[in-house]
Amino acid sequence: MIERLSVRARTLWTLAALTAIAVVVTPAVADNLTGSRKTGSQVQAWGTWANAVFTDGQRGDRRDPGQVSGLSNVVTLAAGIGSHYALRADGTLWAWGNNDRGQLGTGKAEASPLTAPRQVNGLSDMIAVAAGGSSAYAVRADGTVWAWGNNGAGQLGDGTTTNRLEPIRVKGLSDVVDVAAGSWSGYALRKDGSVWAWGSNYRGQLGDGSVTDRPAPARIDGLDGVVDLATGGACAYAVLSDGTVRAWGANDSGELGDGTTTSWSTPTPVAGLREVRTVAAGERSAYALLRDGTVQAWGSNFSGQLGDGTQEDRLTAVPVVDLQDVVGIAAGSACAYAVLGDGTVRAWGDGELGQLGSGETSGTKAPAAVPGLTSATAVVAHAAAAFALVG
What residue ranges define each of the domains in the chain, with the CATH number in brackets? 2-390 (2.130.10.30)
Give every residue of the chain whose pLDDT is below 70, as ranges.
1-40
3-state secondary structure of 65: strand
Q: How far is CA 76 from the centre of its chain?
A: 10
Q: How far apart are CA 232 and CA 215, in angstroms?
A: 20
CA neighbor of 117 nearest in space, from 151, 88, 149, 159: 88
For residue 26, count other CB atoms closer than 10 A to its CB. Answer: 26
Beta-carbon count within 10 A of 391 CB = 15
55: left (phi over 0), alpha (psi -120 to 50) or beta: alpha
pLDDT digits (tens, 9 = 90+) for 235-251: 999 999 999 999 999 99
Looking only at Cα atoms, what is the longest distance across the chain? 51
Instruction: Tell me what pLDDT residue 17 has.
Output: 25
Q: What is the per-residue pLDDT for 184?
A: 97
CA distance linking residue 86 with residue 256, whole number of Å: 30
Q: What residues pair up with 268 in beta bridges, in sequence order?
A: 247
> Can you spell out the DSSP letters for 260-322?
S---EEEEEEPTT--SEEEEEE-SSEEEEEETTS-EEEEE--TTSTT-SSS---EEEEEEPTT
> Radius of gyration (Cα) for the chain, nearest Å?
18
The pTM (predicted TM-score) of the whole model is: 0.91
Q: Hey, what amino acid is at 171?
A: K
Integer CA distances (angstroms), 117 to 101, 185, 388, in order? 17, 25, 16
Q: How far apart are CA 368 and CA 364, in angstroms?
A: 8
